[in-house]
Amino acid sequence: MTSSNSGSAHQQAKDWVESISKNEWTKPAAAVAGTLASLGLIRMYSNGPVYKNSVNLKGKVVVVTGANTGIGKETCIQLAKMGATIVMACRDPSRAHRAKEEIVKLSKNEDVDFIRLDLSDLSSVRQFVSDFRKKYSRLDILFCNAGVMALPRRETTKDGFEMQFGVNHLGHFLLTNLLLDLLIASAPSRVIVVSSYAHTFGKIDFDNLQWERNYSGFAAYGASKLANILFVKELDKRLKQSAANVSVYAVHPGAVRTELPRYILSSWWKKLLVTPILPLTYLLLKDPYHGAQTQIRCAIDPTLQQSSGKYFADCKEKMPSAAARDDQVAEKLWQVSEELVGWKNK
């Protein structure tokens, strides 16, 4: 793994600015150059590291939820370039087909498929699995990437779950378990669950899982992201108990410029507050390419097999919150999730 934050580039920019600043006539230009150089360094730092290694994924089948935009689409592009067969699991067919054309064009890989999946509808999750099994007999990598964030008002899924808990956790919980036999049969295989640093302000309240009381969009989002890590923890434990050669990882992609925070601008006063600082997001937020690096590493790096069950950010293993390391809560959440989605491992 190498980083795009280059010390030599930093020194070259510094030397150049110092050389032109010695000339009185060029001091204004030096000030501008210094500012631009500083902004460039901020940009490089904000983007974070790049995982440069590549593997041959020819013959491997990869499912990516939320594949039509953001880091999901970027993940498809990068793994398609490595030869993988990509299955885009998305809700909107028209947007998915447009993204598919772009993925094929950029990767020069025609093995890109689309199967409709709406994670807010458990019947759609089951239908996706049925459709997938009709076309594919293996599954090597599953990216639980799709998500919703900070809905300003409490909404529910078709099955009556709070939207963020239902989509971000329960939908992926059912999807993964319904595909688990294929992952085990295709081993060594991997599951990557996209969580967030927001898990650190999340709390699992079993008496108010659906946020019927005291709803807060950000608090509910944090709880769903905490559930993602606890799911990974418990899934890893169960896979190891059964000696299955399936590795599973929770990932924080970083603050990325995607459609995920679209609900933050859902009202006129929020737009009024946020719009003036939108240009700063170019400097301070990762682009989707850099945002996808951590989950790409977790998907293909052979050295990470012993790190199954762990939490990663900026292409490195990190320590999640104390709440995310609670074995008892992880086990109880699994049991409750089984009941909620109507699935039980036989």
pLDDT at 150: 85
pLDDT at 256: 58
- Residue 240, pLDDT > 50, answer yes
Check residues 283 and 144 and name the one with the higher pLDDT: 144
pLDDT at 9: 54
How many CB atoms within 10 Å of residue 293? 27
pLDDT at 328: 98
**What pLDDT band is residue 46 in, cutting at 50, 70 and 90?**
low
Q: What is the mean pLDDT of the chain?
A: 87
- Helix ranges, the chain (H): 7-21, 27-47, 70-81, 93-107, 122-135, 163-164, 172-185, 217-241, 268-274, 278-284, 288-291, 293-300, 327-341
pLDDT at 36: 39
pLDDT at 40: 46
Prediction pTM value? 0.82
pLDDT at 10: 56
Average of per-residue pLDDT across 12-22: 53
> Considering 51, 221, 249, 263, which one is annotated as catalytic?
221
pLDDT at 342: 96
- Residue 271, pLDDT > 80, answer no
**What pLDDT band is residue 45 in, cutting at 50, 70 and 90?**
very low
Average of per-residue pLDDT across 54-64: 98
Active site residue 221: yes
Q: Of 37-51, 135-149, 153-167, 192-206, which range is least confident?
A: 37-51
- Residue 170, pLDDT > 80, answer yes
pLDDT at 13: 53
**What pLDDT band is residue 48 in, cutting at 50, 70 and 90?**
confident
Residues 6+ apart with CB under 8 A from 155: 162, 163
> Cα–Cα distance between 117 and 90 in angstroms, integer?
5
- Residue 193, pLDDT > 70, answer yes
Tens digits of residue pLDDT in 283-336? 567 788 999 999 999 999 999 999 999 999 999 999 999 999 999 999 999 999
Residue whose C-alpha is closest to residue 295's, from 120, 49, 93, 128: 49
